[in-house]
Amino acid sequence: MQALLDGVTVPSALQRSADDVVAAVLSNAWVNSEYKHLVLAAPAPAPAALAGQFFQLECPATMDDRPFFRRPMSVYKADAARGEVEFLYKVTGEGTRGLATLATGNRMRILGPLGVGFRLDPAWREIAVVGRGVGLATLAPLAEAAAAQGIGVTAVFSARGPAQVMSVERFASAGARVEVVLDSDRTSDVAQVEALMRRLIGEGRADALFTCGSNRLMLLLQRLGREFSIPGQVAMEQQMACGLGMCFCCVRSFRSGDDTVSRRVCWEGPVFDLQEALSW
């Protein structure tokens, strides 16, 4: 691994070990009709992944699909004591269809942990996290990390309908207060979510704002962050090839003061300052 990094500037959050390891499937169960929960037994350093980091997962071939590249997947849970790492993923393309075929006892290669994760300020007393779909997988470890530091969490879950709401118990077990907004009853409309967020801000429950999984929710939080001078972070979702900053497949545009700059989501991110991210 180090040979791959020679000559490349490494952000401080990446100055830790990452490796390509063989993991064993402990379970790979359906959560609902679209998402599966994959639990792996993996050697170090995989179980030491931090909230917001990701892995490049090897996807098995099937009779119909032959995925060539690995798929980037944010860590859903990492347990160093148990030697386990977990992922929550939507079965939507040839790579994830391959992942869906994995059974208990199968083995696969995973590269990680990679990328720059979330940062928490000990001065914060309450944070608000807003996610939609698989974005909740990225935010779940953040809620647990905040709870471990004595920081309260309010989590706003956005989904198409009740059947797509996931991870409520996971957040609740970390002490988070959960608010669910749905397309089916129109509570997920931006105006409705804005009213909810303004209430949380007014109650002092949003010293910082975090989001993943929805462009419109990110834009809303950016606007509120500017209005109330609240810091924030966003975990960006992006197609990647290498995950190591070498192929430049994941380059996106970001704000930097009055300028627009190009950054690699896998290397400088995937977590960025909320106000630097541009709409997609």
- Higher-scoring residue by pLDDT: 224, 239: 224
**Widest pairwise Cα distance in the chain:** 55
Burial of 272 (0-12, 13-18, 19+ CB in 10 A): buried
Averaged pLDDT, 181-187 = 94
Confidence band (pLDDT; 50, 70, 90) for 61?
confident
Quick one: what percent of the chain has pLDDT higher than 70?
94
Residue 18: its pLDDT value, please? 85
- Least reliable range by pLDDT among 56-65, 99-108, 118-127, 181-190: 56-65
Averaged pLDDT, 201-230 = 96
Could you give the angle at the alpha carbon of 196 between the alpha carbons of 195 and 201, nearest 5°?
95
- Higher-scoring residue by pLDDT: 238, 142: 142
Averaged pLDDT, 56-83 = 91
- Element spanning 85, H or E: strand 84-90
pLDDT in tens, 32-46: 989 999 999 999 999
Confidence band (pLDDT; 50, 70, 90) for 232?
very high
- Least reliable range by pLDDT among 11-25, 62-76, 150-164, 239-253: 11-25
49: DSSP letter: P
Residue 194 to residue 35: CA distance in whole angstroms: 28
- Least reliable range by pLDDT among 15-24, 41-50, 188-197: 15-24
pLDDT in tens, 73-97: 999 999 999 999 999 999 998 899 9
Q: Hey, what domains does the chain have and what are their CATH numbers?
A: 2-114 (2.40.30.10), 118-235 (3.40.50.80)
Confidence band (pLDDT; 50, 70, 90) for 69?
confident
Confidence band (pLDDT; 50, 70, 90) for 135?
confident
- The structure tokens listed for 90 are 């939507």
pTM > 0.95: no
